[in-house]
Amino acid sequence: MIRAEKGEAPIPHRGGDTLTVVTEKGLTTLTIDTHKPKTINGYRRLWEKLVKPTGGNCKPRNVQADSVRSWFATMTGEAGKPLSLSRRKQALQVLAMILDEAQRQGLILRNPARTDALGKVKTPTVQASTDHRYLSAFELRSLAACAGDHGDLVFFLGTTGLRFGEATALAVADLDVPNRTLTVSKSVSEVDGRRLITAPKNGKTRTLVLPQATLSRISHLVEDRDAGDLLFTTSTGSPILHGNFYNRVWRPAVTAAGLAPLRIHDLRHTAASLAVASGANVKAVQAMLGHA
């Protein structure tokens, strides 16, 4: 990424900043008002591990489109092993964001990591996966039974469609048992093992009317507990961390239930499928899932 491309630097005397300098300026403008802490941390990791080692000392005006494409095609990880297409695409996106910032600062005329004015250079894209898994009601109950102490959480996720971070951020006060409602106003992002409370993904609070089966399953969680206590916790009363849950509970439960490999996120698809099967309309399902 070090050969100059003619016409990229409109103001030569302002071209002294390296990509490292531009990146630090750009990342400091990202706040939790516009980005999740986990997302910002992900950008920093991609920058430090994949972009900076190759291009950190380059000046934006010296980054050429064909060099970016070459870097993308041959990118390797820290151990020198080829990276997956999706991981390389993530790193490329970070570089493109950095060069967007350089363009905003007037250091370059166009971004060589994106399509140029002539349509000559195209940023590689990754085909989004459309494979969704949907559990039947019987499979969901079997999976919950195999999840031990966390069976309530598994059943809850599979019937409400909440994101894992939304569910593990719920407090006792969020569940209104007499009215069968649940208020979703926050979510948990995990950054370097730390739990950070943020707004839900779309930034809006929503209220769900719980299915009777779900309410019956979790209503005991509010008994003799303070309003501020977490609704779902480990057996010792600690917050549930995604990585620990996935490795210690989720994967063993999926295997024990005799199911093919499954993502926790597939419980959102399961909840939507079960809701539609029970007669819910599309708008109701959208509201339940927190989609715009």
Domain count, the chain: 2
CA dist., res. 168 & res. 223, Å (int): 18
DSSP 193: T
The amino acid at residue 156 is F
Q: What are phi and psi of 119, to 5 degrees?
A: 70, 20
270: how many CB neighbours lie within 10 A of its CB? 24
Q: Specify whether 28 is located in the same domain as 81.
A: yes
Q: Specify whether 142 is located in the same domain as 234.
A: yes
**Residues in the chain, overall count:** 292
What residue numbers bound the domain in which 95 lies?
12-104
Q: Specify whether 100 is located in the same domain as 141.
A: no
Residue 51 belongs to some domain of the structure: yes
**Tokens matching residue 84:** 């997956």
**Tokens matching residue 43:** 């950008």
Residue 270 belongs to some domain of the structure: yes
Contacts of 10 (CB under 8 A, 6+ apart): 106, 108, 109
CATH number, position 249: 1.10.443.10
Q: Specify whether 161 is located in the same domain as 87.
A: no
Residue 146 belongs to some domain of the structure: yes
Rounded to 10 deg, the angle between the 85-104 and 65-74 helix axes is 150
Residue 75 belongs to some domain of the structure: yes
CA dist., res. 173 & res. 183, Å (int): 9
Q: Specify whether 89 is located in the same domain as 160.
A: no
- CB–CB of 1/58 below 8 Å? yes
Question: pLDDT of the chain along its 292 residues, tens only?
Answer: 544 444 444 444 444 688 988 888 777 666 555 567 778 888 888 888 889 888 888 998 888 888 888 888 888 887 778 888 888 888 888 898 888 888 888 888 888 888 554 444 454 544 444 567 889 999 999 999 999 999 999 999 999 999 999 999 999 999 999 999 999 999 988 777 778 888 887 778 999 999 999 999 999 999 999 999 999 999 999 999 988 999 999 999 999 999 999 999 999 999 988 888 888 877 777 778 876 6
Residue 121 belongs to some domain of the structure: no
